[in-house]
Amino acid sequence: MIIKTNKDEILDFSHDASNFSGNPEAVFFPETILELQELVKTLYQENTCFTISGNRTGLTGGAAAEKGIIISTSKLNKIIEINRNDKYIITEAGVTLEEIQRTAAENGLLYPPDPTETNCFIGGTIATNASGEKSFKYGATRNFVEELEILLPQGELIQIKRNHFFANNLKIKILNYDLTLPKFDMPEVKNTAGYYCAPDMDIIDLFIGAEGTLGIITKAKLRLVDKPGKLISCFVFFNNEEDALQFITDVKRKSLLSIHTNDFTRLNALAIEFMDKNSISLLKDNPLIPHNRAAAVWFEQETTTEYEDLILNRLWELLSKYNVDDNSILYAVDDNEIKSLKELRHSFPSKVNEYISAHNLKKLGTDTAVPSGSFRAYYKFCKDCVEINNLQYVIYGHFGNSHIHLNILPKDEKEYNLGKEIYNQICLKAVELGGTISAEHGIGKFKRDLLIKMYGEEIVNQMKNIKQVLDPKMLLNSGNIFLP
């Protein structure tokens, strides 16, 4: 096993894409699951904290160890099986999402979870229950996890199949561990804050989105779906923001009518994404972006060659209500053009993350979602909060899921501190409206206080008890979700 201890060599492992910096002593690269298991057993005996690193694209400092060592899953990078007939893929944790998506596509299949950042490892996406652009239609990673192999904190390797093991009235037994789930209502929005808990839940769901605090995901069997015959991708730039928001409401309403079908003759969006004026300004040097637009929407839909024109006509018809001219639309139906529009969408968060790194700041980006009926009022609340305080900001997000990334871009430490207060207000407002402080990025080391505000101290302590039963010394992913 490769072990790196040289500070320069391990520098990249001390932070993730949020720019949160930890202080790891070493990085271990196990090459087999057996090697990983032996390592974990030894670390547990020696009382050494260990943090799991995927490809560090996370946005909450989860993979950045504050102390102890890091275990990288990068050498556990084999795809074990792809089954075209039964539509599944079995993979080790360190395979990139890009490789999973490509392998599925080469076999005429699709792995829908798509957090726009495709350099992440599949283990990281399961640990954070990642979602992203296609979650409007397909939901989050959880919906596609059929089976997991998990290395528990003290070194036992377990297999959990979906639909095989269930909680019994909030009680779960795994090997000799007796776990008690807290009783609370999870918000009815896209959510990945804290543990997934329900009285008779499938046990596999406890580990998905647990941010690596309950065990190390070593292998996964993932469900695939048929690759659509055709994809339509479209960026629309609006002259005023109200038109963009109203277009989203319209297209969402129409899509929800056929979301559970593969009706390719109707508007049936895969992704409905929003970018505000400030986001567009960040990319003003990009030749694809028209000047002086107030907002943009990225829309994707699956269809077939036969119905491609019909869908485009339906889309143009809807857009004609919103003062959109030909120069304001970029649309793509062939693979290369679709890829370039997807890259355009990805460049919005990338640009923000670059700004944060360049200014040596920690990310102040919301990941809140609220029930759709409250979304427009919530959006206004968020904007007012930053504008009244004269803070520079950009807003983009998965508006199809009423999910908003408002990134505050402070100029200095004083603005950062003010921004942090505003950020907290925006998160708490989401909770007040029945939403969540984290729809897809997780709690990591940034939102531990907010998690307590969201669920209350008692529920969070009961979640922590689950961890303490499996990991009494609190060595695995210490500091994630809960204070150590």
Ligand X SMILES: Cc1cc2nc3c(=O)[nH]c(=O)nc-3n(C[C@H](O)[C@H](O)[C@H](O)COP(=O)(O)OP(=O)(O)OC[C@H]3O[C@@H](n4cnc5c(N)ncnc54)[C@H](O)[C@@H]3O)c2cc1C
Q: Count CB atoms within 10 A of the CB of residue 269.
A: 24
CB of 314 to ligand X, least distance (A): 27
Planar angle of CA 45, 48, 50, nearest 5 degrees: 115
DSSP one-letter string for 333-363 = -SHHHHHHHHHHHHHHHHHHHHHHHHTT---
Cα(100)–Cα(87) distance, integer angstroms? 13
Cα(211)–Cα(174) distance, integer angstroms? 19
Rule CB under 6 A: say whether 64 interacts with ligand X. no
Among 22, 24, 54, 400, binds ligand X (CB under 6 A): 54
Q: Count CB atoms within 10 A of the CB of residue 346.
A: 16
From the list 26, 216, 206, the residue with the least C-alpha distance to 124 is 216
User: 375-388 and 413-432 are packed helices; what angle lies between their axes, rounded to 10 degrees?
Assistant: 160
Among 27, 43, 49, 52, binds ligand X (CB under 6 A): 52
Tokens of 328: 């304001």
- The interface with ligand X within residues 193-252 (CB under 6 A) comprises 211-212, 216-217
Among 19, 74, 116, 438, binds ligand X (CB under 6 A): 116
121 by DSSP, 3-state: which? strand
CB of 216 to ligand X, least distance (A): 4
Task: Tell me whether residue 311 or residue 408 sits nearer to ligand X (CB atom).
Answer: 408
Task: Tell me whether residue 51 or residue 268 sits nearer to ligand X (CB atom).
Answer: 51
- The interface with ligand X within residues 430-449 (CB under 6 A) comprises 440-441
Tokens of 106: 């080469």
- The interface with ligand X within residues 5-34 (CB under 6 A) comprises 16-17
Q: Which residue type is seen at 449?
A: D
Rule CB under 6 A: say whether 401 interacts with ligand X. no
Contact 200, 232 (CB under 8 A): no
Rule CB under 6 A: say whether 479 interacts with ligand X. no
Task: Tell me whether residue 319 or residue 349 sits nearer to ligand X (CB atom).
Answer: 349
CB of 132 to ligand X, least distance (A): 3
Task: Tell me whether residue 82 or residue 443 sits nearer to ligand X (CB atom).
Answer: 443
Number of residues that bind ligand X (CB under 6 A): 39
Among 68, 153, 349, 400, binds ligand X (CB under 6 A): 349
Among 14, 37, 53, 438, binds ligand X (CB under 6 A): 53
Name the segment binding ligand X (CB under 6 A); options: 223-231, 335-343, 348-356, 408-416. 348-356
Among 22, 30, 123, 365, binds ligand X (CB under 6 A): 123
CB of 289 to ligand X, least distance (A): 18
Rule CB under 6 A: say whether 404 interacts with ligand X. no
Measured between alpha carbons, how far is residue 131 from residues 151, 197, 294, 353 in Å?
24, 19, 27, 18
Cα(23)–Cα(101) distance, integer angstroms? 33
CB of 114 to ligand X, least distance (A): 8
DSSP one-letter string for 419-445 = HHHHHHHHHHHHHHTT-BSBSSS--TT
Cα(61)–Cα(17) distance, integer angstroms? 8
Task: Tell me whether residue 116 or residue 279 sits nearer to ligand X (CB atom).
Answer: 116
Tokens of 149: 């192999």
Q: At which residue do the structure tokens 């107030």 appear?
A: 294
Task: Tell me whether residue 214 or residue 332 sits nearer to ligand X (CB atom).
Answer: 214
Among 127, 280, 408, 460, binds ligand X (CB under 6 A): 127
| CA dihedral of residues 225, 226, 229, 235 (deg, nearest 10) | 10
CB of 54 to ligand X, least distance (A): 2
| Site track for ligand X across 76-105, x = CB under 6 A | -----------------x------------
Task: Tell me whether residue 116 or residue 436 sits nearer to ligand X (CB atom).
Answer: 116
Among 66, 117, 147, 273, binds ligand X (CB under 6 A): 117
- The interface with ligand X within residues 261-320 (CB under 6 A) comprises none
Task: Tell me whether residue 397 or residue 410 sits nearer to ligand X (CB atom).
Answer: 397
Half-sphere CA count of 325, side-chain side, radius 13 A: 4
CB of 182 to ligand X, least distance (A): 21
Measured between alpha carbons, how far is residue 439 from residues 56, 135, 256, 319 in Å?
19, 11, 20, 29
CB of 239 to ligand X, least distance (A): 27
Name the segment binding ligand X (CB under 6 A); options: 115-123, 312-320, 324-332, 336-344. 115-123
Tokens of 366: 């919301």
Summarize as ranges the residues that interact with ligand X (CB under 6 A). Answer: 16-17, 51-59, 62-63, 73, 93, 115-117, 120-121, 123-125, 127-128, 130-132, 211-212, 216-217, 349-350, 353, 440-441, 477, 480
